[in-house]
Structure 1
């Protein structure tokens, strides 16, 4: 009987296919890094080449066979991954676009085009309360899911891999660490800088900069001013002063500091990388504009230099740096300098973005309805005479409920982090809305979607400050405060929330009490709103406003 001898090339190709299937099983359990994947592929291909030689393949065909084996291996691996993610993945019971089930790059594309917030809202409108955003990620907008993902029932949910993506971060910050225990003891250090006493101590410094702002605007009455810029000048000068006892000088100079454009562009790079953190080592070659990469390095440079200047000098008034640089001794270890630098970079950015955006959006909506602005001015007039020293307690919610409603509406319609805060389920999984979510799944509440859901807030897309005043809200209106999460809740709730409210109340009190406002001629609200983009938070255009002095009218 004649024995048929198999072709070495065919045998190697079949082996490549089998190894592709085996590799998928390995990668399912241990997701590779870029380097480990490249090493794995190299070893597999080298092994197939040796196999071909062992089977007495011809040398002149070696290169061709190696390429065929490489192609067969990747094709089999890719096909196995696609079939698994679409038909056999533990999340295949959850609805979502077919492309999102296959690859994370579907979501990354919308981040790159800066319309991710609108895209995710459209998915929820189409698919319902839960959407599969990527092969291993779910987004929720039900009221009941908030407590399960972020509140009292979420104690075992750590931050997700989204927080691993910053290519310019020297070390993990308190905000980026995915270790629950580390986050808890590092958070205690930060908490000391945001207590009630600290906010009282900070208030005179906020008012000093507010007075400078009012003085600058008074010099510009009758002219068109960009409220987006002035909001940023105020918010970033305040945070740099409170954090490091030096402001950026933007209010004094009436022009932006390089920190702001560097932050905006650097955030774009960070968010793109965070969609697929494994590509972080490839970012130098990733196809985003060179300006974003340059800005990331510039932002890191400015942040580090600001930290070093503060480290080198003594200050008369306490600032936030003192707390993060002198950590709570109850922690298991002292912070490294790289970790302190990473935390320092957060102090200004995390504290200023929310304030600047909320101010701009409040003016955007209030100037569309003169009656709303008139009511706000009347309320502020009744709380503060504009002469005595302004105190934030004069504008507390009990005394200025309409102002509180304006702030909350701005944060409800335009939450600073519209796409939510990613979490990772523990190894034993969790139950959300009665359905099991496997361990290692990324989950989040889509903040903008949940806060603009008619089931939670009646007329969800309308700016209605009265909805926050219990005595004025119609009895049949939906008003589910569980779904109002602009600063998130639970163990990862924003520590700067109370400071942000303090700054917002003081800003609106000081500015609205002193000036009248109108949109500049030719301004179109629909154009402004249509140009709002996503970059981790909102990127907004100019808001041209004409000021007039109320004292002169």
Structure 2
């Protein structure tokens, strides 16, 4: 009889538990739809009722594209989860990211920025405003325009090596070929080469030693591991919305993945320690930190945690923009010719091409700015939390603890803000475009903040512009580029896992014909 009772009780208990869970989630969904303080904000009911559609979009890598479609349907203020809104309203940049009288900027959401268990807090992950300000003060001297002048020889050396390696590919019997006039040419996936040069530059500037990617024409093993980091971070963040799931997932992480995390952290610690233990004759990013550290501005853990994130932020992001730019240029040869003619007009007087000589080139800057608009390496500003006292974003009063984010990808392709929003049109950034007679006069340039804004504006903005200008200039001076039929990449098809996924951008290259 006890056995029969047990057989009856277990299914009944399981059914009761299941029914309770279903009832709980159903009641939560009803509350979120009809009684939540954000109930009147536009958005799809399925996203407003539960976090699940949001998480599914994250895991599939379609988040920015899904949100773009929803913004076009529902408008510039969109509810994408029970307690989260996204904005494509230009004023959101200032409302969310800037400091205002009487309150600091909205703090970062710990769901995304709390460090993983094997890591320590750094500049990008610091949630406390005072901690972030202290670290940034110590790091800033290595990223100023003044510092850039002393770092220029390092940047020039690796860009020249990039040109040398690509020249070798064109002339190589194994990878190169000749056209019907006997001119050497080669089909090259240009995407990894942008990574090679930006990672080598940052490695040398940060650690006193490059990753030797250009030297060996392949990724350093550690750099290869870094490409998995954003996707892993996205999955961790998705799990954090359900703490019980996060705890379970950490227990299920295979030993190989745990070792990858530990090796990644170990590489940072080793390279930082090595750089700190020897003197260098030239200024680099680490030099002012070491001088300032006599005042205890940054602990060793602060330095390790900061440089772990800066390796990606200072390399992969710039490479993404350059890749997108080249992809658009070869598919729009009229603009490729304009910027090529401009940069090939430099240096005719025998003077060296320098970073300063590139600052005022109209077409070069226009092409790179348009690439930044369409190929944002970080397509959305990760969520911030409205302070407990509440706040106002884009004219909407929000309760404390509401999550808010800025959808840069959607905003920078919004036809309400940009003429021919999805087209690559660099002339929108030429000086004449600001005149009333220009067809681009009504473009809302205040919607465009590619390096963010406020106290956490991109630290490496000057370095990024220097690299983009110099790399583009030297490549276009050295080579002729064209698209390869049947191998064109549609940028809008790329998935996003915090950063944009990388796929081959195959171009045909020849030595410059001039």
TM-score for both structures, normalised by structure 2: 0.87
Judged with a 3 Å threshold, the aligned counterparts in structure 2 of structure 1 residues 257 and 379 are, in CA distance, closer, same or farther, namely same
The 1-side partners of 2:124 and 2:84 are apart by 20
The 1-side partners of 2:221 and 2:404 are apart by 35
Task: Tell me which of 369, 372, 393 is aligned to 2:356.
Answer: 393
Q: 1:353-392 residue pairs with structure 2 within 5 A? A: 353-385=316-348, 388-392=351-355
Judged with a 3 Å threshold, the aligned counterparts in structure 2 of structure 1 residues 108 and 524 are, in CA distance, closer, same or farther, namely same
The 1-side partners of 2:132 and 2:150 are apart by 26
Task: Tell me which of 133, 137, 155 is aligned to 2:104.
Answer: 155
Q: Find out whether 1:479 has 2:443 as its counterpart.
A: yes
Q: Find out whether 1:106 has 2:72 as its counterpart.
A: no
Structure 1: runs of 5+ lacking an equivalent: 1-57
Structure 2: runs of 5+ lacking an equivalent: 171-184
Shift of 1:305: 2.7
In the alignment, what sits opposite 1:225? 188
The 2-side partners of 1:446 and 1:260 are apart by 28
The 1-side partners of 2:357 and 2:19 are apart by 72
Judged with a 3 Å threshold, the aligned counterparts in structure 2 of structure 1 residues 169 and 535 are, in CA distance, closer, same or farther, namely farther
Aligned 8 A contact 1:243 1:321 in 2: yes
Aligned 8 A contact 2:427 2:433 in 1: yes
CA deviations on 1:243-296 (whole Å, 9 max, x unpaired) are: 111100011111111233311212101022123434544433569x99876654
In the alignment, what sits opposite 2:68? 121
Q: 1:250-329 residue pairs with structure 2 within 5 A? A: 250-277=213-240, 278=243, 279-285=245-251, 295-324=260-289
Aligned 8 A contact 1:429 1:438 in 2: yes
In the alignment, what sits opposite 1:537? 499
The 1-side partners of 2:322 and 2:448 are apart by 18
The 1-side partners of 2:265 and 2:501 are apart by 20
The 1-side partners of 2:401 and 2:15 are apart by 35
Q: 1:139-154 residue pairs with structure 2 within 5 A? A: 139-151=86-98, 153=100
The 2-side partners of 1:67 and 1:231 are apart by 56
The 2-side partners of 1:121 and 1:524 are apart by 23
The 1-side partners of 2:90 and 2:429 are apart by 18
The 1-side partners of 2:474 and 2:96 are apart by 38
Q: Find out whether 1:490 has 2:454 as its counterpart.
A: yes
In the alignment, what sits opposite 1:433? 394
Aligned 8 A contact 2:134 2:297 in 1: no
Aligned 8 A contact 2:488 2:506 in 1: no
CA deviations on 1:158-196 (whole Å, 9 max, x unpaired) are: 111243355355122111122122222221112121112
The 2-side partners of 1:227 and 1:437 are apart by 46
SS in 2 for 1:545: strand
SS in 2 for 1:314: coil
Judged with a 3 Å threshold, the aligned counterparts in structure 2 of structure 1 residues 385 and 255 are, in CA distance, closer, same or farther, namely farther
SS in 1 for 2:432: coil
In the alignment, what sits opposite 1:184? 133
Aligned 8 A contact 1:516 1:547 in 2: yes
Q: Find out whether 1:349 has 2:312 as its counterpart.
A: yes
More deviation in 110-119 or 169-178? Answer: 169-178
The 2-side partners of 1:145 and 1:73 are apart by 40
Q: Find out whether 1:507 has 2:456 as its counterpart.
A: no
In the alignment, what sits opposite 1:24? none
Judged with a 3 Å threshold, the aligned counterparts in structure 2 of structure 1 residues 169 and 87 are, in CA distance, closer, same or farther, namely farther
Judged with a 3 Å threshold, the aligned counterparts in structure 2 of structure 1 residues 362 and 75 are, in CA distance, closer, same or farther, namely closer
SS in 1 for 2:345: helix
Q: How many residues align?
A: 488
Larger relative contact order, structure 1 or 2 (CA cutoff 8 Å, min sep 6) = 2
Aligned 8 A contact 2:115 2:121 in 1: no
Judged with a 3 Å threshold, the aligned counterparts in structure 2 of structure 1 residues 480 and 281 are, in CA distance, closer, same or farther, namely same
Shift of 1:118: 0.6
Aligned 8 A contact 1:517 1:548 in 2: yes
TM-score for both structures, normalised by structure 1: 0.81
Judged with a 3 Å threshold, the aligned counterparts in structure 2 of structure 1 residues 457 and 155 are, in CA distance, closer, same or farther, namely farther
